[in-house]
């Protein structure tokens, strides 16, 4: 794969002498061969010359779900990884949301083999407990050796505090990363949206912010007792940010993420009972969003995730109470975040975090393997179904104003271009 990128603006904070400079970049056989002011194409080579084209190291998403195995009609691994590539992501962490869920080394090997030879690299998680039922620990050590980068019962909180304590203690023997979904089910009960003015007005059962915060407080107390590494995915409330900030000040090894839609959409959108806005964690308030943004800016929140969750149409086209939680998000993540933070900060957010999982961070330098995302940062547009590459179309972002478009990606000696 030989490609010449003409007059691209490099957005790469790790290489200060190239940051925001316009250069030509020559890639041969998947390796960056030259970065110069001007390079003339020679031989058989694909030239990409697009006005205002920008390039960064490839983007990373720590929380993606597909359907395979079990729900291939929602999203296969192959099409999911192509969707990720077209959305700018060259590395993704795969959630344990399939059926059956991966709780053995053979399951991890299957997922890795299914993702071979794709542009976007897939890194699987394994279940923390057998079948994700919260009763007994799964084969954590064996899954780690097979390639699992962490252990997560997807969207299912670990209610048994002693089991969670043992998991943190055991995982320390092999540098295992334990995930804990922040939701106390005894508090959330049958709630389906954020508890507040909007839920009361609409007559929908609410999930108090306390349900998230109480679980986080419990987990952090246990982490302080046991030591180990904890990842708290998709936090959504102001007090959650505060709790994690205090834990980090104590020196606890805790990491967390926030979804792109929880940064940009409030529960005000629920007033039309549109099931596309039914997500977990639920959409919160503008005050929560303000705190989440601040948490990203000061480093309390480590990662922004798309929380990509493809679902069959019949799981969304029902009454609000009966609809499933979730939205696809790979295609809209850049546009949502870029609208909020601007190009440089957005790229910093979308490229950080690999080191948490032991994944090598790419470099945009001569002699390095090309792992790049191509984008234009300023184009304004309304997100519609034509911008969706996923097999499922359940997007919370439909009809929203976006800023910036992904042009393509280069990784694993492959090129995907959207236009």
Q: Which residues are catalytic?
A: 307
- What is d(CA 315, CA 350) in angstroms, rounded to the nearest whole number? 30
For residues 198-212, average pLDDT = 97
* Close Cβ partners of 98 (under 8 Å, ≥ 6 residues apart): 66, 67, 68, 69, 70, 71
What is the DSSP code (8-state) at residue 257?
E
Q: Please report the pLDDT score of residue 165 as a whole number.
A: 98
For residues 292-304, average pLDDT = 98
Q: 256-297: per-residue pLDDT in tens?
A: 999 999 999 999 999 999 999 999 999 999 999 999 999 999
* Close Cβ partners of 166 (under 8 Å, ≥ 6 residues apart): 137
Instruction: Give the percent of the chain with pLDDT over 90.
Output: 98
What is the DSSP code (8-state) at residue 395?
B
Q: 373-393: per-residue pLDDT in tens?
A: 999 999 999 999 999 999 999
Structure-token pair, residue 191: 């709630």
Q: Greater confidence, 257 or 1? A: 257
For residues 300-328, average pLDDT = 97
Q: Where are the alpha helices (DSSP H) in 193-297?
A: 197-202, 209-226, 238-249, 286-297
- What is d(CA 136, CA 113) in angstroms, rounded to the nearest whole number? 27
* Close Cβ partners of 203 (under 8 Å, ≥ 6 residues apart): none
Q: Please report the pLDDT score of residue 127 as a whole number.
A: 98
Band of pLDDT at residue 306, cut at 50, 70 and 90: very high
Is residue 14's pLDDT more than 80? no
Band of pLDDT at residue 17, cut at 50, 70 and 90: confident
Cα(first)–Cα(last) distance of the chain, in Å?
Answer: 18
For residues 93-116, average pLDDT = 97
For the chain, percent helix, then strand, then coil, each to nearest 5?
35, 25, 45
Is residue 348's pLDDT more than 70? yes
Closest CA to 149 of 302, 354, 308: 354
Q: Please report the pLDDT score of residue 125 as a whole number.
A: 98
For residues 10-17, average pLDDT = 81
Question: Greatest CA separation found in the chain?
Answer: 67
Is residue 168's pLDDT more than 90? yes
Q: Are 337 and 350 in contact (CB under 8 A)?
A: yes
For residues 221-246, average pLDDT = 98
Give strand pairing partners of 261: none
- What is d(CA 38, CA 139) in angstroms, rounded to the nearest whole number? 54
- What is d(CA 76, CA 105) in angstroms, rounded to the nearest whole number? 21
Give strand pairing partners of 194: 207
For residues 208-224, average pLDDT = 98
Query: If you write DSSP's letter for every residue of 86-124 in order, what string do you get?
Result: HTTEEEEEEPS-SSS---SHHHHHHHHHHTTT-SSEEEE
Q: Are 370 and 410 in contact (CB under 8 A)?
A: yes
Q: Please report the pLDDT score of residue 13 as a whole number.
A: 64
What are the distances in angstroms from CA 405 to CA 60, 386, 412? 16, 13, 22
- What is d(CA 325, CA 313) in angstroms, rounded to the nearest whole number? 12
For residues 305-325, average pLDDT = 97
Q: Tell me phi and psi for residue 255, to 5 degrees.
A: -130, 160
Band of pLDDT at residue 42, cut at 50, 70 and 90: confident
Is residue 417's pLDDT more than 80? yes
* Close Cβ partners of 25 (under 8 Å, ≥ 6 residues apart): 4, 5, 8, 10, 32, 34, 35, 39, 55, 372
Give the chain's domains with CATH numbers.
3-55+365-390+400-417 (2.30.40.10), 59-357 (3.20.20.140)
């Amino acid at each position: 794969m030989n490609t010449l990128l003409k007059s691209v603006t490099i957005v790469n904070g790790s290489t200060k002498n190239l940051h925001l400079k316009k250069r030509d970049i020559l890639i041969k056989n998947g390796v960056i061969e030259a970065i110069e002011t001007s390079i003339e194409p020679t031989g058989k080579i694909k030239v990409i010359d697009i006005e205002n084209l920008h390039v960064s190291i490839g983007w990373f998403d720590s929380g993606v779900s597909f359907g395979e195995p079990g729900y291939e009609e929602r999203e296969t691994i192959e099409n999911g990884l192509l969707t990720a590539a077209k959305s700018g992501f060259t590395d993704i962490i795969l959630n344990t949301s399939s059926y059956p869920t991966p709780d053995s080394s053979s399951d991890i090997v299957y997922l890795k083999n299914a993702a071979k030879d794709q542009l976007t690299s897939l890194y699987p998680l394994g279940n923390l407990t057998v079948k994700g039922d919260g009763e007994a620990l799964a084969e954590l050590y064996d899954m780690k050796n097979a390639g699992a980068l962490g252990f997560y019962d997807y969207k299912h909180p670990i209610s048994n505090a002693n089991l969670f304590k043992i998991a943190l203690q055991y995982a320390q023997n092999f540098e295992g990363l334990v995930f804990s979904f922040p939701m106390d089910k005894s508090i959330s009960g049958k709630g389906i949206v954020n508890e507040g003015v909007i839920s009361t007005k609409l007559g929908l059962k609410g999930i108090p912010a306390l349900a998230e915060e109480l679980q986080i407080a419990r987990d952090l107390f246990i982490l302080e007792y046991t030591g180990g590494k904890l990842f708290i995915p998709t936090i959504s409330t102001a007090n959650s940010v505060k709790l994690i900030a205090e834990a980090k000040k104590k020196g606890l090894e805790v990491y967390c993420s926030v979804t792109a839609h929880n940064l940009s959409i409030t529960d005000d959108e629920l007033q039309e009972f549109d099931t596309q806005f039914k997500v977990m964690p639920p959409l919160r308030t503008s005050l929560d969003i303000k705190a989440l943004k601040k948490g990203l800016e000061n480093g309390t929140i480590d990662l922004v995730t798309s929380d990509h969750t493809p679902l069959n149409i019949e799981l969304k086209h029902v009454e609000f109470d009966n609809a499933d939680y979730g939205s696809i998000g790979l295609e809209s993540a850049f546009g949502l975040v870029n609208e909020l933070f601007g190009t440089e900060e957005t790229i910093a957010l979308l490229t950080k975090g690999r080191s948490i999982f032991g994944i090598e961070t790419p470099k945009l330098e001569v002699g390095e393997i090309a792992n790049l995302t191509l984008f234009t940062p300023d184009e304004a547009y309304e997100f519609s179904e034509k911008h969706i590459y996923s097999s499922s179309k359940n997007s919370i972002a439909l009809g929203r104003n976006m800023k910036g478009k992904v042009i393509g990606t280069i990784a694993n000696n492959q090129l995907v271009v959207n236009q």
